[in-house]
Amino acid sequence: MSQVDSPTHRGPFRKVFHPYHPMSQPTSSRSEPRSRSHAPQFMKGNEAVVHGALLAGCRCFFGYPITPASEIAHTAAELFPEVGGVFLQAESEIAAIQMVYGASSAGVRCMTASSSPGISLKQEGISYAAGSELPMVIVDITRGGPGLGNIAPEQSDYFQMVKGGGHGNYRLPVLAPASAQEMCDFTVDAFTLADRYRTPVVVLADGLIGQMKEPVSLPDAVREIPDKPWSVRGDGATRENLICSIFLDPPVLEDHVRHLHDKEMEIEAKETRWELEGHPDPELVLVSYGVVSRIVRGALDEALAKGMRVAALRPQTLWPFPTAALAHATRDAKAVLCVELSTGQMVEDVRLGVGGAIPVHFLGRCGGVLPTVTEIGEEMESVLAQAEVLS
């Protein structure tokens, strides 16, 4: 994990942030260094999301509290009014996403946040926003499911966020933080990507990353927000603008969908992120994200200390998935082990990335039960033993 400093209490948000510090475009496995001049703070990942949003110039939050994401709404309710922004607790998750749709149509940087069942309610509105090419940030702090499930951490929203839970042909960038620091940083990045490509962007974290308290070193506030000549501001200059996802003529809709697809191909080419560490010539590559990647890090350290040839790849973008990076990392490997807090969702993309060249094994826990370093270590040894028998 990146090293972070330790923090004080919310000082910077006593000032109004109009400045914007443009983020360097991340086209490799790591984002560019950030300018950080504020004293670090100790906060939950959920709180770090709000700080990142305000530093990115977000001024509207519409949402509804739900465990384990509630601190996002609570912190936004406290801090957004302090900088002249708007916090509104909607009557429902369905209402909240439509409010974000409206604010984004007016050219405002805006966001919403929820947890698994709340995100499910937002899916129709997310599809409408994708079809209308509206930039916004959607934060999903995943809890146990299906149904009401429980409030413990899971990674079972991978399908509904990465594969597009709403209707129609669309894909959204999905950032997967693994620390409170990244909850802040990736939220800033999400607003940059949203405006760059005129698309909703998702920050997807498990409940443990949202609830975990860690030191967070805040980045400097952004210094300018891009103009949005397409927006509708209720004045003569924007009278002819229309924000809509209705295309009644089939050839016209096809052209629009192909336009969205072309944009998705550009995002895949330019915005894929990952981390790779461990042995430079691994026999086994582990793939994980979010809090699981931190547990995998412990298992990786123990394996390397034993002299095992093991590496770990952590996707930082779940879409676009780092397929090329995975193929390169596994070019001489005997097997892959995918570890998730689910019964197997990301593992499908891992199998596609490997393309059947080597076996892909899966270790999953669910319901809020976390795998242990010992459990992962034993599975690694079992996988390598099987690979030895087959070779």
Query: Could you tell me if 105 and 243 are in contact, meaning their C-beta atoms sit under 8 angstroms apart?
Result: yes
Domain that holds residue 54: 11-270
pTM for this one? 0.91
Instruction: Note the pLDDT of residue 17.
Output: 28
* pLDDT over 90, % of the chain: 86
Q: Which residues pair with 88 in a beta bridge?
A: 62
Residues 255 and 287 in one domain: no
Task: Check which CATH number belongs to the domain holding 126 and give it.
Answer: 3.40.50.970
Task: Check which CATH number belongs to the domain holding 373 and give it.
Answer: 3.40.50.920
Question: How far is residue 207's CA from residue 168's CA, in Å, rounded to a whole number?
Answer: 28
Could you report the per-residue pLDDT of 150-179, keeping only the tens digit for each? 999 999 999 999 998 999 999 999 999 999
Query: Could you tell me if 351 and 275 are in contact, meaning their C-beta atoms sit under 8 angstroms apart?
Result: no
Residue 229 has pLDDT above 70, yes or no: yes
Beta strand pairing call for 174-175 and 317-319: antiparallel
34 pLDDT band, cuts 50/70/90, is: confident
Choose one of 270, 299, 315: the last residue of a domain.
270
Instruction: Note the pLDDT of residue 27.
Output: 33
Choose one of 227, 250, 270: the last residue of a domain.
270
> Taking the mean position of all CA atoms in its chain, how far away is CA 202?
5
Residue in the block written with tokens 């028998």: 389
149 pLDDT band, cuts 50/70/90, is: very high
Residue 184 has pLDDT above 60, yes or no: yes
If you average pLDDT over residues 125-146, what whole number do you get?
A: 98
Could you report the per-residue pLDDT of 91-118, keeping only the tens digit for each? 999 999 999 999 999 999 999 999 999 9
Number of domains in the chain: 2
Q: Which two tokens stand for residue 348?
A: 């499908």
If you average pLDDT over residues 125-138, what whole number do you get?
A: 98
If you average pLDDT over residues 358-366, what whole number do you get?
A: 98
Is residue 283 in a domain? yes
* H or E element in which residue 206 lies: strand 200-206
